[in-house]
Chains A and B, each alone.
Chain A
Amino acid sequence: MTSPLQQKLKITGPSVVTANRLADGAVVYRTAEGTWTSDLDSAAVVSTAEAATALLAAAKADGVRAVDVYVAPVKVDGQRVLPANLREAIRLRGPTIDLPITFGI
């Protein structure tokens, strides 16, 4: 039986690696250059399980800048990279409700 740790990553379409920034918890995405960005359009988009596994492994190794690292589905529209589900849309854009008071992050 395969250990859960050894199970292969499955993806069904274009994906990015995302996490929360350690110091403040802000949502970030892994870039092709091995850095983190809060701009989803600048994220590295992968389309194969092999590429996603490699991107995820490198991101997880960077445990001092980002935490809770995982692979998230996206939609690609020309130069734009868009979240593929509501959870990821809320992570990117913030709550869908008006906040009582909004300050800059």
Chain B
Amino acid sequence: MYLYDDFDRTLLAERVAEFRGQVARRLSGELNEDEFKSLRLMNGIYLQLHAYMLRIAIPYGTLASDQMRKLAYVARRYDRGYGHFTTRQNIQFNWIKLKDLPDAMADLAASRLHGMQTSGNCVRNITTDQWAGVASDEIEDPRVWAELLRQHLTLHPEFSFLPRKFKIAVSAAAHDRAALAIHDLSLRLYRNGAGESGFEVGVGGGLGRTPFLTKIIKPFLPKRDVLSYVEAVLRLYNQYGRRDNIYKARIKILVHELGAEKFGKEVEAEWQSIKDGALALDPAVIAEIAARFRYPDYERLEDGPANLTAARKADARFATWLNNCVSNHRVPGYAIVTLSLKPVGKPPGDCTADQMDAIAEIADRFSFGEIRVGHEQNLVLPHVAQRDLPEVFAALDAVDVATPNVGLVSDIIACPGLDYCSLANARAIPVAQEISKRFQDLEVARGLGRLHINISGCINACGHHHVGHIGILGVEKNGEEFYQITVGGRADEQAQLGTLIGPAVPYEDVADVVEDIAEAYLALRQQPDELFIDTIKRLGVEPFKERVYATR
């Protein structure tokens, strides 16, 4: 866990006091909505279809158990008893009242939580690999760099009014679990041929109306230069990004129109002028930030304890969960446990206050009080001793967060869609629910192997549909909901945008279409271990298109 200091606490307390005054002035009419809207957005407060929505940042997806309990408290006290984990490692409360928000924010601030920069045209919550610090395939903990950037870019006066929002992701692992390529700026920490570690910098990724993947503009950036280089990118964007057209305001459009090479050269010139100034990172500063990430006092344990082997043999449900939800840890005798927030027929990413409290308790007992949030809208217990896995499974199963469908067809990423969101054109959650019911037989789902479905209720693409193995985009046609289907997208280190397979299909047909695509894959794959995404890569979309539209 990262240890906050007095500076952080003072900042949050002052922010709450300031917002309390702003809300009072709005409710009295002293501020009109035009004046107030930008102030509430700066604190992560949107007005949705039915109520206000509060979005709370979970920096680099790391949550302490006391913070999870506080989220449960806020869900009960100010909302309707649940929250929704998002694709950006945030949580949203969908029913909060403006008049209650100052008190809710004060309660959250007491647990080091806030909504600053979860909205508005600024640098948003910096995300990373939910396995950061424990993954066996990473070279170091990327959260140190995410935290350095967070501190530098929080309320940074020069970057508080960018042309549009700006999303940064950081990863240090061989396998990309942070969806780097769809971010405005990506930082991939790796070791070069000389054994030095540094960042590969990508810019201009993003989905929405005009999807692009990042282009690499700096193949190797020394670690000491990360703040100055990011500052140079932001300066270029701030200066040249389009403010005349909201649809062309993201950095991806600037990079596309200017060309990545020219953009990279401009950044280089700016960076050369500042790189050896105040932003050059002193190793002592890096060490100080790194030292504030506290790691558990792990026991010396062996992998594969006898009780685990016995439990695996004795309990088939446990064995299934173990195979699906438990991953290798960098420390012998420990494991990373993924908690599925995708039980069959339930809204993806939703978590009740009771579940939050139970997860906090389980984290305290078995994961050194630490929880992670992943962009796939699942949670993680990052430090579970393997000998405790049977008990952990029983505890998670009791609160319905042990569905062994992680990475499978029913582990669907979905935005809130038209059930909540004022921007949406179509519903996303009921579509996800219906698909997960169709594939509730885990034998069938396992037979399909890794298959990611992403659903967005509008072109803004909060459900990342462009990078779903199967992507589903809701559109509105003459007052009816229709859905465009893409296949072949992926968000990992081989990131790819999906290809549209044909005309949009009506709401009632979406789950049937997904079943058709799944059946086509089963018939077309060369062998059982050829993944869906690899079959698409080998054959293209035509066979799937033929199957879907043959009878429609």
List chain A positions with a Cβ less than 8 A from chain B: 20, 22-27, 63-64, 67-68, 85-87, 90-91, 94-97, 99-103, 105
Q: Which of B43-51, B261-269, B484-492 contacts A (4 or more CB under 8 A)?
A: B43-51
Which chain A residues border B32 with CB–CB below 8 Å?
63
Question: When the two chains form their complex, are residues A63 and B50 in contact, meaning their CB atoms are under 8 A apart?
Answer: no
Which chain B residues border A94 with CB–CB below 8 Å?
50
Given contacts A24-B99, A63-B33, A97-B347, contact A103 B49 (CB under 8 A): no
Tell me the residues in window 425-442 of chain B with beta carbons closer than 8 Å to chain A beta carbons.
Answer: 427, 429-430, 433
Question: When the two chains form their complex, are residues B350 and A23 in contact, meaning their CB atoms are under 8 A apart?
Answer: no
Tell me the residues in window 49-87 of chain B with beta carbons closer than 8 Å to chain A beta carbons.
Answer: 49-52, 80-82
How far, in whole Å, are A103 and B99 apart by their CA atoms in the complex? 18
Which chain B residues border A85 with CB–CB below 8 Å?
479
Contact pick for A22, options B48, B98, B418, CB 8 Å: B98
Question: When the two chains form their complex, are residues A86 and B352 in contact, meaning their CB atoms are under 8 A apart?
Answer: no
Question: When the two chains form their complex, are residues A67 and B33 in contact, meaning their CB atoms are under 8 A apart?
Answer: yes
* New A-B pairs, 4, CB < 8 Å, besides A24-B97, A68-B422: A25-B98, A86-B427, A97-B430, A101-B80
Interface of B is mostly: mixed
Which chain A residues border B394 with CB–CB below 8 Å?
none
Which chain A residues border B80 with CB–CB below 8 Å?
99, 101-103
How far, in whole Å, are A85 and B481 apart by their CA atoms in the complex? 11
How far, in whole Å, are A97 and B434 apart by their CA atoms in the complex? 11
How far, in whole Å, are A105 and B49 apart by their CA atoms in the complex? 14
Question: When the two chains form their complex, are residues A86 and B481 in contact, meaning their CB atoms are under 8 A apart?
Answer: yes
Question: When the two chains form their complex, are residues A23 and B99 in contact, meaning their CB atoms are under 8 A apart?
Answer: yes
* Whole-angstrom distance between the Cβ of B383 and the nearest chain A Cβ: 28
How far, in whole Å, are A22 and B420 apart by their CA atoms in the complex? 17
Which chain A residues border B26 with CB–CB below 8 Å?
22
How far, in whole Å, are A32 and B47 apart by their CA atoms in the complex? 25
CB of B301 closer than 8 Å to a CB of A: no
Question: When the two chains form their complex, are residues A97 and B418 in contact, meaning their CB atoms are under 8 A apart?
Answer: no
Question: When the two chains form their complex, are residues A25 and B52 in contact, meaning their CB atoms are under 8 A apart?
Answer: yes
Which chain A residues border B52 with CB–CB below 8 Å?
24-25
Interface residues on B, range: 20 to 34
Nearest B residue to A85, CB-CB? B479
Given contacts A91-B50, A100-B81, contact A23 B98 (CB under 8 A): yes
Q: List 11 A-B contacts (CB under 8 A).
A: A25-B50, A63-B32, A67-B47, A91-B49, A96-B419, A97-B347, A97-B430, A101-B81, A101-B352, A103-B81, A105-B95
Tell me the residues in window 396-453 of chain B with beta carbons closer than 8 Å to chain A beta carbons.
Answer: 418-420, 422, 427, 429-430, 433
Contact pick for A24, options B98, B350, B420, B427, CB 8 Å: B98
Question: When the two chains form their complex, are residues B430 and A96 in contact, meaning their CB atoms are under 8 A apart?
Answer: yes
* Whole-angstrom distance between the Cβ of B27 and the nearest chain A Cβ: 6
Which chain B residues border A25 with CB–CB below 8 Å?
47-48, 50-52, 97-98
Question: When the two chains form their complex, are residues B50 and A26 in contact, meaning their CB atoms are under 8 A apart?
Answer: yes
Nearest B residue to A99, CB-CB? B80
Question: When the two chains form their complex, are residues B479 and A86 in contact, meaning their CB atoms are under 8 A apart?
Answer: yes
Which chain A residues border B48 with CB–CB below 8 Å?
25
Given contacts A86-B479, A87-B418, contact A100 B352 (CB under 8 A): yes
How far, in whole Å, are A102 and B81 apart by their CA atoms in the complex? 8
Question: When the two chains form their complex, are residues A96 and B427 in contact, meaning their CB atoms are under 8 A apart?
Answer: yes
Tell me the residues in window 245-286 of chain B with beta carbons closer than 8 Å to chain A beta carbons.
Answer: none
CB of B29 closer than 8 Å to a CB of A: yes
Nearest A residue to B36, CB-CB? A67
Question: When the two chains form their complex, are residues B50 and A27 in contact, meaning their CB atoms are under 8 A apart?
Answer: yes
Question: When the two chains form their complex, are residues B82 and A97 in contact, meaning their CB atoms are under 8 A apart?
Answer: no
Nearest A residue to B480, CB-CB? A86
* Whole-angstrom distance between the Cβ of A77 and the nearest chain B Cβ: 18
Tell me the residues in window 307-332 of chain B with beta carbons closer than 8 Å to chain A beta carbons.
Answer: none
* Whole-angstrom distance between the Cβ of A40 and the nearest chain B Cβ: 14
Which chain A residues border B82 with CB–CB below 8 Å?
99-101
Which chain B residues border A101 with CB–CB below 8 Å?
80-82, 352-353
Which chain A residues border B346 with CB–CB below 8 Å?
100
